[in-house]
């Protein structure tokens, strides 16, 4: 009996073992392959809350890493995490860069590259930008979304900057072919107010507010403005800014602006424009107009929204060493995996995947090396499901050029191609200003932070002045406030440090053999 | 009726019926009774537990639901306590900048804070009774004009109600809300509580609350009741939502198959219609199925019993068929079980009985043959004439004492010889043999020396009648042949461990080894049914057979050579007679 059953029992046991092995092995392998990295995204506005969608899944497939996302609840969230020593593996932030560049909080990239022998030759420009915030000459966080002035001259995409969406169909109806000056623009607003009473001539979002007009008035987007004598002053004390305030107050008093625009949230600000209740909308480049135009033509196919061609004398100077940096914290459970992930994200492959999707599936490259997106991507954008389906929000290492090219590629009709060319031509990055601001002493930083937190309120109060007297009173109140904050001390410091930073920057570029 | 009762009584005598009654009464009926009672109790207990458990689950859900509905009261209280908001709603700020500053610094954060009181709180609208600088263009969507308050219920003042579709509640034009909402309207007063400055509308997404409340395990159908209408709560994927397309105009009726539980939550109610754990119909069906299965098992059992008792019945009929006659062996199939053992024993018993009857008949035949042989041998005219002629000669010779003695001996010999007794004692056998030797001496005038030696307790041993005299006669007849010298016959009886041994030794001419071996073999194999008895040794065969019959097969005669010559015939008899022949009938 035993002789007859023993082989059968052995066979069954063998088959069971094989089945169990086959069932268990892939799972175990997957468990080993897929590593979890926790990431804190210090952007409360971040539109996605989890690492799902086509692009995140592809990132996981390629890198073997899945991200555990925590989006900041507010701008103090990161401070609380630092205070509680609860930082995750990676912190992705555009603010508190000085605070995060701290060896007690984060690993330096150099240390990890050396420790784990990772083959990553960090580009010199990114290294130089990162060193701007470094307290000890080591890199703690690499800034993404950087492109040099020269880079912008070699692309057809437009940089992220201020822009004014305007109703081309109404301009055409009024017979206006071009607007070259702020006075002409003002006249247009007044005519619109008169001829199209259902339209609010000018609305704006909370983030970019009057940046477009700052550019138009020659201020650019720098917080400090260089004067003819070589000194640097806070933009709110610049005559061009004061002229802009007066210009906007006149528009307000003429009924071309409404107080609600100051109170509206970013998601709500464009409501009037896209529902044909506003003539223009001050916001930014890179697809803002695309979505607004699509909304408008849903109402009436004759509606057309374009981005206004830069006015004569417009200045698009901006600071910029990049936008957000990724820091590998001392709490990181697996620093090597974090480092490998960031290395991949800063690679061309990583940048293209995180920003554009899967090559050959979601996009193909045209003869100029620009992406041409698939119908699926375009349909998801049209149906407002792009974020949910593809989730292109984990571009931790993407350059500004890749981002801009991707966004411009979504526009089937370049409604504002001329405007983009002009913006790109005038666009100028002054990294040494950023470096000077980053390395301000603490007393200067305190002054800067305090004025930065309240300048918008003063600006709104001045613009919303009911009459000329109120305007002057409110303007003086702001200037007195700036004096009271000892803005002159800050300006004196920057007047000295910015030229120094410029010199250092030039020296560094020379050393790195960069233009 | 009597015949029916008799028939039943007769049936009750049958083994099969008894088995069936045993199964019915002791197994099937108690099992059915037990299962019925036990299962019934289990079912009732399960129903109680189900009702308690589900009611508790629904109560908890209802509490969560009520809490969610009540928590928005906190939102109203929070807004009522905000001076900047009340100032704005009262139109108290002198300029747009002041109002904007208050809004940005205090009111907007307040709205954000209030909106996070509960995750289901989605809409928060303030219908102002007084104009303000902001909130006139929809960009600040929380602020509206009182004229936009179009709910029919608004006339009732503070109230709460259910709006089942986006058409029934306020939402922004570019929003695409779905699902039902619970609307609460309440008044906000000025800081000094002298006037109403706005009506607050708070909207709760019911589907969001349902996600938190459900899933409630246990299946069934859940309804949200409002003012007599019950909306099914359905699941689509992982999400629950209110099915406003298919409301029930009245409360569902409970049935035997369902359990209906209801809990109220503010103006709403939660109704849970869930299937009973095993409806009465299912229980009945299960019970019937169980009975059917047991009846099936009964049928199987009955068939098995029939199969099992079939051979018993046949055996019983075989025995009944035998009646009072001679039992016959059962020739049917014999099983390999205890009953087969009984049948085999029965068959062995019948064969033993047949053999015993045959042996008794044989013994009777042998006894009759011995008697006949004895009678014929004793009444042999030559024996009588010779004996009587000797007596006459003694008288002629005036040897009156010898004649008298001879007559006395002949008389005793004949008396014993013609006796029809079956049994005797060795002492009487010894005496009978001595009488025979005396008569023999008178007849043949030959010198015969005859001695009998015996142990003290040997004479009383019981034995078949006339077993020693033929042996002595055989010794004399064969021993004396061709002998001129006196012959000695010695009888020695002694008691051994397994019986009594009687050695009859003569010093005659003896016999060859072959003859002796043949004779001993004949004695070993001699039995009561030997039919081929030859003339020679017929007396020995008779004696040997009767000894075996009387004491058993281990006993009998055995011959050996005597020293220096002659033959020793050893007769081995038992100490007691075989029990089977005790009380045997004499003929």
pLDDT tens per residue, range B498-543: 889 999 998 888 888 898 898 888 888 755 444 444 556 667 888 8
Residue to substitute from A199, A256, A260, A465, interface B, most B β-carbons within 10 A: A260
Please judge whether A457 and B101 are an interchain contact, meaning their C-beta atoms are less than 8 angstroms apart: yes
Residue A73's pLDDT is 87
* Chain A interface includes B97 (CB < 8 A): yes
DSSP-assigned beta bridge partners for residue A37: A67
User: Which chain A residues have a beta carbon less than 8 Å from that of B173?
Assistant: 275
Q: Compute the distance between CA of residue A170 and CA of residue A189 in angstroms, rounded to an integer.
A: 11
Nearest CA in chain A to B133: A259
Q: Name residues 171-200 of chain A within 8 A of B (Cβ).
A: 200
Residue A413's pLDDT is 64
Residue B368's pLDDT is 64
CB B434 within 8 A of CB B452: yes
Q: Two tokens at A19?
A: 């089945």
Residue to substitute from B91, B94, B97, B103, interface A, most A β-carbons within 10 A: B97
Question: Measured between CB atoms, which of B96, B105, B141 is closest to A259?
Answer: B96
Q: What is the DSSP letter of B141?
A: T
Q: Compute the distance between CA of residue B342 and CA of residue B355 in angstroms, rounded to an integer.
A: 20
CB A323 within 8 A of CB A397: no
Q: What is the 3-state secondary structure (H, E, C) of B353-375?
A: HHHHHHHHHHHHHHHHHHHHHHH
Q: What is the DSSP letter of A134?
A: -
CB B89 within 8 A of CB B188: yes
Element (H, E) at A232: strand A232-234
Question: Measured between CB atoms, which of A271, A275, A466 is closest to B95?
Answer: A466
Please judge whether A464 and B173 are an interchain contact, meaning their C-beta atoms are less than 8 angstroms apart: no
CB A436 within 8 A of CB A494: yes
Q: Two tokens at B51?
A: 């009702």
User: Which chain A residues have a beta carbon less than 8 Å from that of B135?
Assistant: 260, 263
User: Which chain A residues have a beta carbon less than 8 Å from that of B141?
Assistant: 268
Please judge whether B139 and A261 are an interchain contact, meaning their C-beta atoms are less than 8 angstroms apart: yes
* Chain A interface includes B104 (CB < 8 A): yes
Residue A301's pLDDT is 93
Q: Two tokens at B512?
A: 């060859």
By the 10 Å C-beta count (0-12 exposed, 13-18 middle, 19+ buried), B225 is classed as: buried
Nearest CA to A260 among A184, A205, A328?
A205
Q: What is the DSSP letter of A175?
A: T
Alpha helices in B323-337, H assignment, sequence order: none
Q: Compute the distance between CA of residue A312 and CA of residue A372 in angstroms, rounded to an integer.
A: 33
DSSP-assigned beta bridge partners for residue B572: B501, B556
Q: What is the dihedral of CA B47, B50, B56, B57, to 10 degrees?
A: -150
Instruction: Name the CA radius of gyration of chain A, rounded.
Output: 27
Residues contacting B458, CB < 8 A, separation 6+? B426, B493, B494, B495, B500
Residue A3's pLDDT is 47
Please judge whether B134 and A260 are an interchain contact, meaning their C-beta atoms are less than 8 angstroms apart: yes
Three-class SS state of A117 = coil
Residue B346, CA distances (Å) to A407, B203, B309, B342, B356 in order: 109, 99, 17, 6, 15
Q: Name residues 442-481 of chain A within 8 A of B (Cβ).
A: 457, 460-461, 464-466, 470, 474
Indicate if the alpha-carbon torsion angle B37, B41, B44, B50 is positive or negative: negative
What is the least distance, in Å, from the CA of B133 to any CA of chain A?
Answer: 7
Nearest CA to A215 among A312, A145, A147, A322?
A312
Q: Compute the distance between CA of residue A162 and CA of residue A317 in angstroms, rounded to an integer.
A: 11
Three-class SS state of B193 = coil
CB A82 within 8 A of CB A40: no
Q: What is the dihedral of CA B323, B325, B330, B332, to 10 degrees?
A: -60
Residue A25's pLDDT is 43
Give 10-residue mean pLDDT values along chain A (515 residues). Answer: 50 52 43 79 89 93 93 89 92 91 94 91 88 89 90 88 95 94 96 95 92 94 92 94 96 94 86 93 90 90 94 91 92 94 94 92 87 89 83 90 86 76 91 88 89 89 93 94 91 94 85 73
Q: Compute the distance between CA of residue A514 and CA of residue A502 in angstroms, rounded to an integer.
A: 14
DSSP-assigned beta bridge partners for residue B286: none
Helix, strand, coil percentages, rounded to 5, for chain A: 50, 15, 35
Please judge whether B174 and A465 are an interchain contact, meaning their C-beta atoms are less than 8 angstroms apart: no
Residue A177's pLDDT is 92
pLDDT under 70: residue ranges of chain B? 13, 213-218, 278-280, 324, 367-381, 445-446, 482-483, 526-538, 577-587
Residues contacting B483, CB < 8 A, separation 6+? B508, B509
Number of CB pairs < 8 Å for A and B?
68
Residue A484's pLDDT is 92
Residue B381's pLDDT is 66
Beta strands in B276-334 (DSSP E): none
Three-class SS state of A415 = coil
Nearest CA in chain A to B134: A260
This prediction's pTM: 0.63
């Amino acid at each position: 009996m035993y002789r007859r059953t023993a082989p059968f029992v052995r066979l069954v046991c063998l088959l069971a073992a094989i089945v169990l092995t086959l069932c268990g092995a892939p799972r175990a392998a997957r468990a080993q392959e897929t590593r979890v990295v926790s990431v804190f995204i210090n952007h409360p506005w971040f539109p996605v809350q989890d690492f799902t969608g086509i692009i995140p899944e592809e990132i996981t497939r390629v890198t073997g890493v899945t991200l555990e996302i925590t989006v900041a609840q507010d701008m103090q969230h990161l401070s609380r995490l630092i205070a509680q020593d609860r930082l995750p593996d990676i912190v992705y932030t555009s603010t508190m860069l000085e605070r995060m560049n701290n060896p007690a909080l984060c690993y330096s990239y150099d240390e990890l590259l050396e420790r784990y022998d990772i083959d990553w030759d960090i580009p010199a420009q990114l290294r130089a930008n990162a060193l701007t915030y470094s307290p000890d000459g080591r890199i703690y966080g690499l800034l993404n979304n950087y492109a040099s002035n020269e880079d912008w001259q070699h692309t057809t995409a437009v940089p992220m900057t201020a822009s004014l969406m305007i109703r081309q169909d109404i301009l055409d109806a009024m017979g206006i072919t071009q607007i070259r000056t702020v006075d002409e623009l003002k006249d247009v607003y007044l005519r619109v107010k008169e001829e199209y009473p259902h339209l609010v001539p000018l609305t704006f979002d909370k983030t970019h507010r009057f940046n477009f007009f700052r550019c138009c008035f020659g201020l650019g987007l720098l917080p400090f403005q260089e004067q003819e004598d070589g000194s640097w002053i806070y933009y709110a004390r610049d005559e061009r800014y004061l002229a802009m305030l007066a210009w906007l107050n006149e528009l307000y008093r003429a009924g071309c602006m409404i107080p609600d625009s100051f109170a509206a949230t970013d998601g709500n600000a464009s409501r009037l424009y896209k529902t044909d209740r506003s003539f223009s909308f001050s916001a930014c480049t890179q697809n803002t107009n695309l979505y607004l135009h699509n909304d408008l033509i849903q109402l009436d196919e004759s509606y057309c929204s374009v981005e206004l061609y830069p006015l004569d004398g417009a200045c698009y100077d901006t600071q910029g060493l990049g936008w957000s940096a990724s820091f590998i914290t001392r709490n990181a459970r697996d620093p090597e995996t974090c480092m490998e992930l960031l290395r991949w994200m800063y690679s061309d492959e990583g940048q293209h995947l995180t920003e554009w999707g899967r090559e050959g599936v979601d996009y193909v490259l045209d003869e100029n090396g620009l992406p041409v997106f698939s119908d699926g991507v375009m349909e998801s954008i049209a149906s407002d499901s792009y974020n949910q389906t593809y989730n292109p929000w984990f571009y931790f290492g993407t350059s500004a050029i890749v981002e801009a090219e991707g966004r411009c590629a979504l526009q089937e009709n370049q409604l504002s191609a001329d405007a983009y060319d002009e913006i790109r031509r005038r666009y100028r990055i002054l990294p040494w200003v950023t470096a000077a601001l980053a390395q301000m002493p603490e007393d200067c930083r305190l002054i800067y932070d305090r004025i930065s937190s309240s300048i918008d309120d003063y600006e709104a109060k001045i613009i919303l002045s009911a009459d000329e007297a109120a305007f002057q009173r409110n303007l003086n109140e702001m200037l007195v406030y700036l004096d009271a904050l000892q803005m002159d001390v800050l300006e004196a410091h920057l007047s000295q440090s910015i030229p120094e930073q410029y010199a250092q920057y030039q020296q560094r570029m020379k050393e790195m053999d960069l233009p | 009726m009597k015949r029916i009762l008799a028939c039943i009584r007769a049936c009750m005598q049958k083994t099969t019926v008894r088995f069936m009654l045993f199964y019915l009464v002791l197994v099937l009926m108690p099992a059915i009774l037990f299962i019925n009672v036990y299962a019934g109790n289990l079912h009732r207990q399960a129903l109680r537990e189900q009702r308690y458990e589900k009611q508790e689950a629904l109560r908890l859900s209802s509490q969560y639901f009520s809490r969610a509905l009540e928590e928005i009261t906190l939102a109203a209280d929070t807004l009522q306590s905000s001076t900047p908001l009340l100032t704005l709603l009262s139109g108290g700020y002198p300029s747009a900048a002041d109002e904007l500053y208050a809004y940005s610094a205090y009111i907007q954060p307040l709205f954000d804070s209030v909106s996070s009181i509960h995750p289901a709180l989605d809409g928060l609208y303030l219908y102002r009774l007084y104009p303000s600088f902001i909130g006139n263009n929809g960009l600040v969507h929380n602020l509206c004009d009182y004229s936009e308050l179009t709910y029919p219920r608004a006339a009732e003042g503070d109230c709460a109600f259910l709006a089942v579709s986006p058409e029934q509640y306020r939402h922004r034009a570019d929003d695409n809300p779905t699902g039902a909402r619970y609307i609460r309207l309440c008044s906000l007063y000025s800081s000094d509580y002298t006037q109403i400055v706005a009506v607050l509308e708070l909207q709760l997404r019911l589907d969001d609350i349902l996600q938190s409340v459900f899933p409630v395990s246990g299946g069934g159908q859940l309804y949200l009741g409002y003012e007599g209408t019950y909306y099914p709560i359905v699941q689509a994927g992982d999400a629950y939502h209110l099915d406003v397309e298919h409301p029930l105009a009245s409360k569902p009726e409970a049935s035997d198959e369902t359990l209906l539980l209801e809990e109220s939550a503010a103006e709403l109610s939660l109704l849970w219609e869930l299937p009973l754990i095993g409806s009465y119909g299912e229980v009945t069906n299960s019970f019937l199925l169980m009975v059917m299965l047991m009846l099936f098992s009964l049928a199987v059992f009955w068939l098995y019993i029939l199969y099992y008792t079939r051979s018993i019945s046949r055996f019983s009929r075989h025995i009944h068929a035998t009646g009072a006659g001679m039992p016959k062996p059962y020739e049917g199939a014999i099983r390999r079980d205890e009953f087969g053992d009984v049948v085999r024993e029965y068959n062995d018993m019948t064969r033993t009985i047949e053999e015993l009857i045959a042996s008794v008949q044989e013994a009777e035949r042998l006894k009759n043959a011995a008697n006949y042989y004895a009678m014929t041998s004793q009444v042999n005219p030559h024996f009588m004439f010779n004996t009587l002629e000797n007596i006459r000669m003694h008288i002629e010779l005036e040897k009156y004492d010898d004649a008298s003695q001879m007559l006395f001996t002949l008389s005793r010999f004949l008396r014993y010889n013609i006796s029809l007794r079956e049994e005797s004692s060795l002492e009487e056998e010894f005496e009978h043999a001595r009488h025979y030797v005396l008569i023999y001496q008178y007849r043949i005038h030959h010198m015969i020396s005859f001695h009998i030696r015996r142990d003290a307790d040997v004479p009383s041993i019981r034995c078949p009648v006339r077993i020693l005299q033929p042996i002595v006669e055989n010794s004399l007849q064969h021993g004396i042949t061709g002998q001129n010298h006196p012959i000695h016959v010695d009888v020695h009886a002694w008691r051994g461990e397994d019986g009594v041994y009687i050695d009859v030794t003569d010093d005659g001419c003896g016999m060859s080894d072959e003859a002796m071996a043949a004779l001993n073999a004949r004695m070993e194999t001699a039995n009561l049914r030997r039919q081929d008895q030859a003339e020679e040794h017929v007396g020995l065969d008779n004696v040997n057979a009767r000894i075996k019959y009387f004491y058993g097969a281990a006993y009998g005669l055995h011959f050996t050579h005597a020293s220096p010559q002659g033959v020793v015939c050893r007769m081995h008899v038992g100490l007691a007679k075989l029990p089977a022949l005790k009380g045997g009938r004499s003929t």
